[in-house]
């Protein structure tokens, strides 16, 4: 398609958009009385309007049923989380029994590492990407210290090539082969938070397995954003948050994936709790832990239903639309945004550098050469909610559920005004 940097063209794209009605399913903040152009769904998704009813239903049941809500509400609380597993499995390419929802992301990664980082004197190293998200760095460092290793020796970072802003798959695979039999675990962010790169998870997983390593993925920026086939790729485990592209609310519950080969086993080391034991015998208060035959065995506590409710509301929309349609719009709207950036770059004789490679999802990370924080501040004051990363990068993530092509055009005009006004 030949794009045009005109309002009429953008509005025609919106008219043809099969997902356009879903924009009205979300609440938008306002600046100067107008709905914002929202580019930070990669940090916190907008609130779906239907979420309120899901939360209100639980509050009503709590008011009217009290403890009996666990078993006698319309959506009983004791198995509320099970309603999320089937739609989530479709989003991440898993079997329903391989998916569960509990806790928050970093907590779940720690708990999963109890099971899947089992270092020995010879095989103890962890492979990750350089400058991984800080929480992942802290987690890995604390895990290797817990096992008595030095992080400088145990954590191997795959670096970008000199002068490049992205990782090459062949470099990741080469490093895996180099570490070889010393490699215990690979844990990488499936989509890098800074540059928006989508890693070749299938190839990297296969390479890791070939040297005997366990392979896990932090999918915080991936779930609800890109095509995932965790089961078919033979990933060992994964975890993700739900408040970015999944639109479940700030700090909300995390999802996990555990490959079916680890399910229904008593010999898996893990931290265990009451809610991971079999439902059939849970209330017999037996002293022996009997793991549920699914990923729910990794649950420790009963489900936090007030946080699961908006997640379930959002998943209802994912069920209605499907990842295929979301990805199709994602590709088109990100391509249009890229076109707009290049057009504005030419008009103002500036120097934008998109550091996100072609392997991408919703996000474009842009170096604003010659521009500083004042441009970001101008955008924010004029209704463009975006994200600033030092030294001069803005991250733009047009989520396909609620961003419009008209947004992309208007952003270009505001960006141009911001540059020319400085």
Domains 7-35+322-420 and 52-321 belong to one CATH topology = no
Q: Residue 200 above 90 pLDDT? A: yes
Least confident of 133-142, 151-160, 350-359: 350-359
Least confident of 5-14, 83-92, 280-289, 377-386: 280-289
Cα-based angle 163, 395, 228 (whole degrees, multiple of 5): 90
- Domain limits, the chain: 7-35+322-420, 52-321
Instruction: Give 263's pLDDT tier (boundaries 50, 70, 90).
Output: very high
Mean pLDDT of 8-33: 97
pLDDT of residue 349: 76
52-321 CATH: 3.40.640.10
Nearest to 111 by CA among 250, 223, 249, 216: 216
Nearest to 371 by CA among 396, 348, 355: 348
Instruction: Give 421's pLDDT tier (boundaries 50, 70, 90).
Output: confident
Mean pLDDT of 127-151: 96
Which pairs with CB-CB distance under 8 Å and at least 24 residues apart come from 332-335? 332/1, 332/13, 333/398, 333/400, 333/403, 333/405, 333/408, 334/360, 334/361, 334/362, 334/363, 334/364, 334/398, 335/3
Q: Residue 20 above 90 pLDDT? A: yes
Tens-digit pLDDT profile for residues 155-193:
999 999 999 999 999 999 999 999 999 999 999 999 999
pLDDT of residue 420: 87
User: Where would I find the H helices in 264-404?
Assistant: 279-282, 305-321, 323-348, 373-381
CB-count burial class (<10 Å; 0-12, 13-18, 19+) for 30: exposed
* Contact in structure between 274 and 266 (CB atoms under 8 Å): no
- pLDDT, averaged across the chain: 96
Which residues of 244-288 form beta strands (DSSP E)?
A: 254-258
Mean pLDDT of 243-250: 98
pLDDT of residue 247: 98
Count other Cβ atoms within 10 Å, centred on residue 28.
16
Tens-digit pLDDT profile for residues 65-95:
999 999 999 999 999 999 999 999 999 999 9
Instruction: Give 47's pLDDT tier (boundaries 50, 70, 90).
Output: very high
Tens-digit pLDDT profile for residues 311-330:
999 999 999 999 999 999 99
* Contact in structure between 80 and 110 (CB atoms under 8 Å): no
Rounded to whole angstroms, how far apart are CA atoms 95 and 380?
42
pLDDT of residue 391: 80
What architecture does CATH give domain 7-35+322-420?
Answer: Alpha-Beta Complex (3.90)
Q: Residue 99 above 90 pLDDT? A: yes
Tens-digit pLDDT profile for residues 362-372:
999 999 877 77
Cα separation of the two ends of the chain: 34
Q: Which residues pair with 254 in a beta bridge?
A: 102
What is the share, in percent, of the chain residues with pLDDT greater than 70? 99
């Amino acid at each position: 398609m030949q794009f045009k940097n005109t309002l009429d063209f953008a509005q025609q794209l919106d008219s043809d958009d099969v997902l356009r009605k879903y924009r009205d399913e979300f609440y938008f903040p306002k600046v100067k009385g107008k709905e914002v152009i929202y580019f930070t769904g990669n940090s916190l998704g907008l609130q779906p309007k239907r979420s309120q009813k899901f939360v209100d239903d639980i509050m009503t049941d709590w008011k009217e049923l009290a403890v009996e809500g666990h078993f006698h509400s319309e959506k009983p609380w004791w198995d509320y989380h099970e309603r999320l597993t089937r739609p989530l499995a479709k989003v991440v390419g898993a079997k329903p029994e391989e998916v569960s929802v509990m806790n928050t992301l970093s907590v779940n990664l720690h708990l999963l590492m109890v099971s899947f980082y089992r270092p020995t004197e010879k095989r103890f190293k962890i492979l990750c990407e350089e400058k991984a998200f800080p929480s992942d760095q802290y987690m890995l460092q604390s895990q290797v210290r817990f096992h008595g290793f030095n992080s400088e020796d145990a954590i191997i970072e795959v670096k970008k090539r000199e002068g490049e802003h992205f990782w090459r798959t062949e470099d990741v695979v080469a490093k895996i082969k180099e570490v070889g039999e010393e490699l215990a675990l690979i844990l990488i962010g499936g989509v890098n938070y800074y540059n928006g790169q989508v890693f070749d998870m299938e190839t990297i997983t296969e390479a890791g397995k070939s040297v005997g390593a366990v392979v896990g993925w932090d999918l915080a920026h991936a779930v609800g954003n890109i095509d995932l086939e965790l089961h078919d790729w033979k990933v060992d485990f994964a975890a993700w948050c739900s408040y970015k592209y999944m639109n479940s609310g700030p700090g909300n519950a995390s999802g996990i994936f555990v490959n079916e080969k680890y399910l229904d086993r008593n010999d898996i080391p893990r931290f265990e709790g009451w809610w991971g034991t079999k439902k059939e015998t849970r209330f017999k208060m037996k002293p022996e832990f009997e793991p549920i035959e699914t990923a729910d065995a990794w649950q420790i506590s009963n489900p936090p239903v007030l946080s699961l409710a908006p997640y379930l509301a959002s998943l209802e929309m994912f069920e209605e639309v499907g990842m295929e349609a979301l990805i199709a719009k994602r590709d088109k709207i990100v391509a249009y945004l890229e076109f707009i950036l290049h057009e504005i770059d030419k008009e103002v004789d500036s120097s934008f550098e998109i550091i996100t490679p072609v392997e991408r999802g919703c996000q474009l990370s842009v170096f604003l050469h010659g521009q500083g924080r004042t441009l970001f501040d101008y955008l924010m004051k004029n209704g463009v909610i975006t994200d600033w990363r030092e030294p001069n990068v803005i991250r733009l993530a047009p989520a396909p559920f609620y961003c419009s092509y008209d947004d992309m055009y208007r952003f270009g005009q505001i960006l141009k005004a911001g540059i020319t006004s400085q």
